[in-house]
Structure 1
Amino acid sequence: MKHNRTRKLLALAFVAAGMSGCMEANHGRYSVGNTPTNFSSEGERLYFTGISSSGEQIRSVGGHPHMQMHGGSCATCHGADKEGGAIMWPRFWVTAPALTEGALEKEHDDGHNHASYDESSLKNAIVNGTGPDGAPLHDTMPRWRMSEESLNALVRYLLGEHPH
């Protein structure tokens, strides 16, 4: 009797681990192995690592536990190519949106409807979790805390303005 209970508890734990976002297939493409070793800008470094060149760790407030467990940077959910698509387990119907220049700058209908982002509205999205129209972003999106210098660098990177 005790053996059957143990097996049931182990099976339940396995299912719970899979549903919580610990499945390798979901986060494997955003692993450390896909992180570049050289960065073209400070914003790119922040996007991939969550750490500035001076050692400042950007901190998340809230958001998705998957991101907190597996990296803690933008690339964790939005991907190395900024194309998004990571499933926000256990809410399998929610996916991270693309952060490509085209996805941010143009109104479009990819399941993440929004107006165009500019520098100000993108900063507001990162820090306060609101879209360009002032509506709250999905609660899986963390609110990030970082210096103004790091925030400016990250926004420039996302909008495609790389320093020469």
Structure 2
Amino acid sequence: MKKIGLFYSFHTQKTAKVAEKIQKALGEKDVEALNVEEVDEKKFAGFDNLVLGVPTWFDGELPNYWDEFVPAIEEMDLKGKKVAIFGLGDQINYPENFCDGIGIMGKLMEQQGAELVGFVPADEYNFESSVSVRGDKFAGLALDQENQARKTNKRIEDWVAGLKKSFN
């Protein structure tokens, strides 16, 4: 398996904890964790396989640190790259835009030529809408640490098993 770039904010609590679990599940020697708040375009584009930690803020927005990196991404050619996205959201308090960050980032990655991998069924969640849903699946791993934290470890385990096949 090619080296994987794992991008997330090191300054978040919940996303960082999930990222560490994902890194361990993928095999720490195969993954380079990078703080998205400090990364440059060359480093980002230097991986064939990327995992992005993209929580949803407020009413369906990207966190500031991702939003500030969007103009750089819009200039990149990501053809041939495989991208998996995980995100945290709250399906009870924000049911109308649960994990929208996954969908926003996923669309951007595809517009730049990347292939999204790591879709997961949306049937175990209870929310009104999400731009992350395509058909009956999320365009990445949706996690709700507020209301379904007990399901997180199993969801990560299942998701990573699929990523290992996709990232060959």
**TM category, shorter:** under 0.3
Q: TM-score, normalised by structure 1?
A: 0.27
* Greater fraction helix: 1
